[in-house]
Amino acid sequence: MAEYRTHMKIIGDILATTRDDLQDEDGATVTYLIRKANISHSRISRIL
């Protein structure tokens, strides 16, 4: 059975995505974060 990610692990995935995957200064779009961090829109909206 797969383990669920903790809230801190999800935030860590979001931060790692913005730090590692983006080279430009514009930042990440919400869609990009949703796809790379594998999180739903409703969940990321509560975090951001």
Residue closest to 30 by CA, chosen among 38, 41, 15, 16 = 41
Which runs of consecutive H residues, i.e. helices, occur in the chain? Answer: 7-20, 30-37, 41-47
pTM over 0.75: no
Rounded alpha-carbon distances, angstroms, from residue 40 to 11, 23, 32, 36: 13, 24, 12, 11
Q: Tokens 């514009």 sit at which residue?
A: 26
Please write the tens of the pLDDT for every residue from 12-30.
Answer: 998 988 887 767 677 788 8
What band does 7 get if pLDDT is binned at 50, 70 and 90?
very high
Rounded alpha-carbon distances, angstroms, from residue 12 to 1, 19, 31, 37: 22, 10, 17, 9
Where exactly are the structural domains of the chain? 7-47
